[in-house]
Amino acid sequence: MSLTLQSLGLGNLGIKDKLALIEELWESVIAEDPAMALTDAQRAELDRRIADYEANPDDVVPWEEIKASRAERLKK
The pTM (predicted TM-score) of the whole model is: 0.52
* pLDDT, tens digit, 9 for 90 and up, residues 46-66: 999 999 999 999 999 999 999
Mean pLDDT along residues 10-19: 92
**CA-CA distance, 14 to 4, in Å (whole number)?**
15
pLDDT for 27: 93
Q: Is 45 domain-assigned? A: yes
| pLDDT above 90 coverage of the chain, percent | 71
Q: Say how many domains are in the chain.
A: 1
Residue 26 located in a structural domain: yes
Q: What's the rounded mean pLDDT across residues 34-47?
A: 93
> Could you tell me the residue range of the domain that residue 63 belongs to?
15-75
Task: Provide the H-helix boundaries in the chain.
Answer: 15-32, 40-55, 63-75
Q: Residue 57 domain-assigned? A: yes
Strands (E), the chain: none
Q: Answer yes or no: is 44 within a domain.
A: yes
